[in-house]
């Protein structure tokens, strides 16, 4: 273990606490008066430099806090001014406002991607004998859904459209043995491909399958 502490302040304290005894007992310690005469100013200089460094460190910390506060204030007020400029450009319909302000105009809106078919479509018969169809899909950008049904001997027919991801079909003919369902996503005028069809057994067929 080193005799002199590693930390600056501890090392200075180490010698400050021994300076008087070393000076008074120089001969008994094997030192000369000149040794301590030369060493004493070094202790004083180290203490002065350490104090100056601590003051400078604290001043730097304070300056950094002040800088961050001033930057936050400038950015916040600047952002508010830019927002006013953009609002004026929008309301006036004058794109030269952006040129005059030397700020970029807003980017054109990115068109929404084409709707994708719903996934994980399921269908089950509830206690009222109606078919409840459920699926997974995104409802972003105004997406809604259409439900299509196929009965024995028939063709695919739309039976309803909803914004939710579930639909209850209460228009089934009572004599139907089964029904297939398919769901499509709509966004504006765009329509996705149909989901994978799902079959649900009805009436006697349902009882036999159970």
CB 187 within 8 A of CB 117: no
Looking at the structure, do residues 190 and 143 belong to the same domain, yes or no? yes
Q: Residue 183's closest CA among 202, 171, 196?
A: 196
13 with 64, same domain?
A: yes
For residue 23, the 8-state DSSP code is H
pLDDT at 205: 53
Q: Which residues pair with 198 in a beta bridge?
A: 181
Q: Which residues contact 188 (CB under 8 A, 6 or more apart)?
A: 142
- What range does the domain containing 147 cover? 119-209
Six-digit token string for 57: 């460190």
Q: Are residues 51 and 132 in the same domain?
A: no
User: Does residue 107 form part of some domain?
Assistant: no
Are 158 and 150 in contact, with CB atoms under 8 Å apart? Answer: no
Rounded to whole angstroms, the Cα distance separating 183 from 39 reads 91
Q: What is the tens place of the pLDDT at every residue in 84-98?
A: 999 999 999 999 999
In this prediction, residue 209 carries a pLDDT of 38
Q: 79 and 130 share a domain?
A: no
Residues 81 and 125 in one domain: no
Q: Report the pLDDT value the prediction gives residue 100, as an integer from 0 to 100.
A: 95
Same domain, 52 and 126: no
Average pLDDT over residues 54-76: 97
Task: Classify residue 160: in a domain, yes or no.
Answer: yes
Query: Is residue 41 included in any domain, yes or no?
Result: yes
Say if residues 85 and 101 touch (Cβ distance below 8 Å): yes
Which of 48, 71, 89 is the C-terminal boundary of a domain? 89
Q: What is the CATH number of the domain that holds 171?
A: 2.60.40.10
Same domain membership, residue 127 and residue 59: no
Q: How many domains does the chain have?
A: 2
Statement to judge: residues 17 and 60 lie in one domain? yes
Check whether residue 54 and residue 124 sit in a common domain: no
Does residue 53 carry a pLDDT above 90? yes
> pTM for this one?
0.50
Q: What is the mean pLDDT of the chain?
A: 92
Q: What is the pLDDT of residues 201-210, one digit of tens each?
A: 986 555 443 3
Clarify whether residues 82 and 148 are in a common domain.
no
Q: Between these two residues, 141 and 121, which has the higher pLDDT value?
A: 121
Residue 164 within any structural domain of the chain: yes
């Amino acid at each position: 273990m080193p005799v002199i502490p590693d930390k600056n302040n501890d090392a200075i304290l180490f010698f400050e606490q021994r300076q008087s005894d070393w000076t008074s007992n120089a001969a008994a310690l094997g030192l000369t008066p000149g040794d301590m005469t030369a060493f004493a100013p070094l202790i004083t200089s180290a203490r002065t430099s350490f104090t100056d460094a601590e003051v400078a460190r604290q001043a730097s910390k304070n300056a950094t806090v002040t800088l961050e506060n001033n930057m936050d204030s400038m950015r916040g007020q600047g952002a508010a001014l830019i927002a006013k400029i953009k609002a004026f450009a929008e309301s006036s319909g004058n794109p030269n406002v952006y040129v005059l302000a030397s700020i970029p105009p807003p980017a054109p809106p990115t068109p929404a991607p084409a709707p994708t078919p719903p996934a994980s479509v399921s269908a089950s018969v509830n206690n009222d004998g109606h078919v409840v169809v459920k699926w997974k899909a995104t409802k972003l950008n105004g997406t809604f859904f259409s439900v299509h049904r196929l009965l024995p001997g028939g063709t695919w027919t739309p039976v309803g459209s909803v914004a939710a991801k579930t639909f209850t079909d209460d228009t089934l003919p009572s004599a139907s043995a089964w029904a297939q369902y398919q769901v499509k996503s709509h966004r504006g005028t765009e329509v996705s491909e149909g989901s994978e069809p799902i079959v649900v057994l009805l009436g006697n067929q349902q009882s036999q399958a159970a």
